[in-house]
Chain A
Amino acid sequence: MELAKLNRNTRILNIAAIVVLAIALGMIFFYAPVEQTMGNVQRIFYFHVGSAWVGSLAFLVALVSGIMFLRKPSRKWDTTAVAAVEIGLVFLSMAIVSGSVWGKPAWNTWWLWSPRLTMVTIAWLAYAAYFMLRGAIDDEERRGRFSAVYVIISFVTIILTFVSIRILRDIHPVVFGGAMESAQGASEGLQEFSGLDSMKMVITLNVSVIAFTLVFGAWMLNRIRLQRLTDETQILKSRVAAQLQGEV
């Protein structure tokens, strides 16, 4: 029953995530300046980028877990991959929804089938299908192996989502390392918002990204713990079933 209790690291990470998230929120609304073109609605951007970053990080963790599982099959890598994909999907959903809400005042539409938005939809669907694949295979060893291969291949959609705005004409702003692309896009009238205006914005964005990364870490530990508890319960259920069969 040791598993049932929260361990010290999980507790510390849970508290740290809440504290840094509160600091990030405070900075977003009281420290970061108003963006000149869009006004206050640009403040969505700090959580939008944070959630998109953590979504990508989660799928990277799933990719590494998949590779590790194929190298040396172990339940812990499978569990890590499941937790990472599940949490990645939650953060990707947050990024998509917040982006859509930001898009309405910025582009005058909730959704556009631009390369970035199309690729992120494909990525979301690919990772959602991961759970369908797992649900369709009963044998644990086969399920782990197939899931590992699938999660490795699926990461292509994340890479394509990242590079889509850099290699294709897109209305979506390039935030990181894309000064030239942003300037080009802005000059072509493609982008309303073309970057971070001030150092205060950059600092706020960094704090948001750190906050979301901590939330990701905390959720990962909690989700992995839940999976271990589930596995433990399954083992006990099998023992009970065996005993009951023996009695009959």
Chain B
Amino acid sequence: MTMTILSAAALQISTDPNQFNNYLLLGYAAMWTIGMIYIISLALRQRNVRRDLDLMEQILQEDDQTER
């Protein structure tokens, strides 16, 4: 009896490879989300630093011109 139940369960698993596909989608979605958040955070930090850098260079240039 036990063997019949176990083999039926095994057969069900082997014949239905798609039964956990929602977890497959969830797993990949979660990983991509984490990766994308990091890429966006890198891009935003880079944009802010560039703005700061441009502003500082502009202030220094203006200051140089005023001194002349």
Interface residues of A (CB under 8 A from B): 1, 4, 34, 36-41, 43-44, 47-48, 51, 87, 90, 93-94, 97-98, 101-102, 104-105, 219, 222-223, 226, 229-230, 232-233, 236-237, 239-240, 243
User: Are B34 and A223 interface neighbours, CB within 8 A?
Assistant: no
CB distance B31 to A47 under 8 Å? yes
Instruction: Give 11 pairs: A residue, B residue, CB < 8 Å, sorted on A.
Output: A38-B13, A39-B13, A41-B20, A47-B27, A47-B31, A90-B38, A93-B34, A101-B27, A223-B42, A226-B46, A236-B60
Chain B residue at smallest Cβ distance from A232: B53
A97 touches B13 (CB 8 A): no
Q: Is A4 touching B17 in the complex (CB atoms < 8 A)?
A: no
Given contacts A90-B38, A98-B27, whether A105 and B50 have CB atoms under 8 Å apart is no
- CB of A236 within 8 A of CB of B57, answer yes
Closest to B57 in A: A236
B30 within 8 A of A: yes
Task: Give the complex CA separation of A239 and B64 in angstroms.
Answer: 12
* B residues lining the A interface (CB < 8 Å): 13-14, 16-21, 23-24, 26-28, 30-31, 34-35, 38, 42, 45-46, 49-50, 52-53, 56-57, 59-60, 63
Overall SS of chain A's interface: helix
Q: How far is the CB of B29 from chain A (nearest CB, A)?
A: 9
- Least distance between B56 CB and chain A CB atoms (Å): 4
B57 near A226 with CB under 8 A, answer no
Q: Are A47 and B38 in contact (CB under 8 A)?
A: no
When chains A and B are docked, how far (Å) is the Cα of A232 from the Cα of B34? 29
Report the separation of the CA atoms of residues A232 and B52 in the bound assembly, to the nearest whole angstrom.
Answer: 10
A41 lies within 8 A of B21 (CB): yes
Q: A40-B18, A94-B31, A226-B45 are in contact. List 8 more A-B contacts (CB 8 A).
A: A36-B14, A39-B16, A40-B20, A47-B28, A97-B30, A98-B27, A98-B31, A222-B42
Contact partner of A44 among B17, B23, B56, CB < 8 A? Answer: B23
Residues A97 and B42 in contact in the complex (CB < 8 Å), given A39-B17, A41-B24, A233-B56? no
B42/A44 in contact, CB under 8 A = no
Nearest B-chain residue to A34, judged by Cβ: B17
Give every chain B residue within 8 A of A44 (Cβ-Cβ).
23-24, 27-28
Return the chain B residue nearest A37 by Cβ: B13
Nearest chain A CB to B42 CB, angstrom units: 6
A40 cross-chain contacts in B, Cβ below 8 A: 17-18, 20-21, 24
Is A51 within 8 A of B31, CB to CB? yes
**Is B34 a contact partner of A97 (Cβ separation < 8 A)?**
yes
Are B23 and A39 within 8 A (Cβ)?
no
Residue in B23, B31, B46, B50 whose beta carbon sits within 8 Å of that of A41 in the complex: B23
- Does B31 contact A38, Cβ atoms closer than 8 Å? no
